[in-house]
Amino acid sequence: MKTIDQMLAEGVAGKRVFVRADLNVPLDGTTITDDGRIRAVQPTVARLAEAGARVVVASHLGRPKGAPDPAFSLAPAAARLGELLGTDVAFATDTVGESARGVVDALADGQVAVLENLRFNPGETAKDDAERGAFADALAGLADLYVGDGFGAVHRKHASVYDLPARLPHAAGLLIATEVGVLRKLTEDVRRPYAVVLGGSKVSDKLGVIDHLLEKADRILVGGGMVFTFLKAQGHEVGSSLLQEDQIPVVQEYLKRAEALGVEFVLPVDVRVAERFPDLKTKAPSDPETVAADAMPAGRMGLDIGPRTSELYAAKLADAGTVFWNGPMGVFEHPDYAEGTAAVAQALIDSPAFTVVGGGDSAAAVRILGFDENAFGHISTGGGASLEYLEGKTLPGLAALED
């Protein structure tokens, strides 16, 4: 895989460089609530601009249905990128139309432009190769070189991720090079004990990674909404908690496999429960109580791991050599149910291990709960991409960057 350093050595001054970034940031109206992904790509954009490239940044945001939707405009992200770069960033109000062509043609050496949301064009996500290819052809007309740096999208077979690199000389950006290096440490060069912490809402989202990591990990700690399918699989009452009943047989099989392989599967010993889901807008108190994980009241739902579980998980991480964490332990957006996620984050900081926060809600939780990002070994920008890599899958966006 060619790197951006090699591309820079060959010279980029005066050339139009298309940077496929991941600016898929959370928005409250037009206000960015977490700019982590923009900050992650800023070094690549800055390096190219400093070398005299005419930088064309493109990304998706959210899930618009192949047509313009103001709610998913990249204008706020473009403005924030300009602030981080300390320079004006031009913004095209379309992807490959008159505005995009005009904005790109007007760029001088060292200047940066951002195109509107790529998913406003149906060709970006089309299943049909010809339709996707036609959009990639139009994007290629805006550039001379391609840099892939949107790690959060490399597991998607989309026009700007998969098809476009085949049409232009290409290289991996600084972010992708870093992400791939970190993931190799989790798969090829692991310091043991290797502990994996999995959370989030649905167990079905993590089945593939559990299946793969059973052969690699020494300990797997489970929290979040997905844990109640595990508890139910052990025969425990889970009240009105999130439950994927159809996944119980799969979970039971994984628990048996873990025992046979000598992998320690760690589940909560207590949970925080309430009668109903809390109000995340007002953050009003929700009258939670802590109960034993094997004695949940029938009418209550589990919303976080309990304090004894937090202590247990911290102890299980204290002597680890490597820790991968993906998924919060509870509804961390509400103060009544943030303690479990905060405890896991602090345990990673306190551990001497090489620690990786696997993107998505876990990365957001680290920032929202006020932890120092530099206290972790690495915070990934791509939750889904990280998981698919750890499952052993071929990621289209990475395959497209191979020479």
* Residues catalogued as catalytic: 37, 202, 360, 384
The span from the CA of 398 to the CA of 389, in Å, is 10
Q: Crossing angle, helix 36-50 and helix 174-187, to 10 degrees?
A: 120
Identity of residue 64: P
Phi, psi (rounded to 5 degrees) for 210? -60, -45
Binding site feature residues for ATP:
206, 302, 333, 359-362
The HSE-up count of residue 206 (CA atoms within 13 Å, CB side) is: 30
The span from the CA of 311 to the CA of 290, in Å, is 14
3-class DSSP state of 214: coil
The HSE-up count of residue 177 (CA atoms within 13 Å, CB side) is: 13
Binding site feature residues for substrate:
22-24, 37, 60-63, 119, 156
CB distance 210 to 368 below 8 Å: no
> DSSP letter string over 68-133?
--GGG-SHHHHHHHHHHHTS-EEE-SSSSSHHHHHHHHTPPTT-EEE---GGGSTTTT-SSHHHHH
